[in-house]
Amino acid sequence: MLRRGIGRLAWWAWSRVGNWAAIGPRSSKARAFREFGDGSAICFPVVALFGERYIRVGTGTIVGPYSSLSAGVSPEHILDVETIVSIGDRCLIGKGSGIVGHQSVVIGNDVFTGHNVYITDANHGYIDIEQSIGKQFSPPDPVTIGDGSWLGHGAIVLPGSNIGKHVVIGAGAVVTGDIPDFSVAVGNPAQVVRRYFPDQGWVKVDSV
């Protein structure tokens, strides 16, 4: 009886902490963002969060717990543009996901993701063999994800990727380039396997 009581109390306390610690549009932490829309929330706990003044969150958007959201290479990084990371309206970013922007990551409206999705416009370089790779950076390359798209569990979107609108990216896929509107892409690197054409409907790519 005592153990069950303690368990219920622990669950109640954790849920309360989650609600109180979430970042919402009226919380003091939301004021640090470039924009933070009504009805949006970044759930507690947050793994990493910095560069808020370069991050825009639209209305009705939820970022799941244990996620990372950052603009720039460190909290002290001063950038020369107003918005580095832009997440549209009514989006759902899954638990444990990471969005890292150094130049431009634009996520459209109504974009949903599964858990543990990683989206970045930046990568490490490998020019100086005397210096650790972790301290070398390649030039960032903008990323866009169109309205209404869905990214499955564990998908990775790398620099220079341009995902169209109403696109499905399969679980575990690695996106490295352009994915056209109204398509389904899977694999590493992600390849389009189906596309929708107004005059044909859904068509397998190998038969187009």
Could you give the residue numbers annotated as active site? Answer: 124
Q: Find out whether 107 and 86 touch, Cβ atoms under 8 Å.
A: yes
Q: Find out whether 55 and 30 touch, Cβ atoms under 8 Å.
A: no
Strand positions, DSSP E, 111-160: 112-113, 118-120, 143-145, 150-151, 156-157
Coil, strand, or helix at residue 197? strand
The Cα–Cα gap between 171 and 179 comes to 15
Structural tokens at position 41? 């929330």
The Cα–Cα gap between 183 and 205 comes to 9
Residue 33 corresponds to which amino acid?
A: F
The Cα–Cα gap between 153 and 79 comes to 31
C-alpha Rg value of the chain to the nearest Å: 19
Number of neighbours of residue 187 by Cβ within 10 angstroms: 13
Instruction: Tell me the CA distances in angstroms from 103 to 15, 138, 142, one per residue in order.
Output: 36, 12, 6
Coil, strand, or helix at residue 32? helix
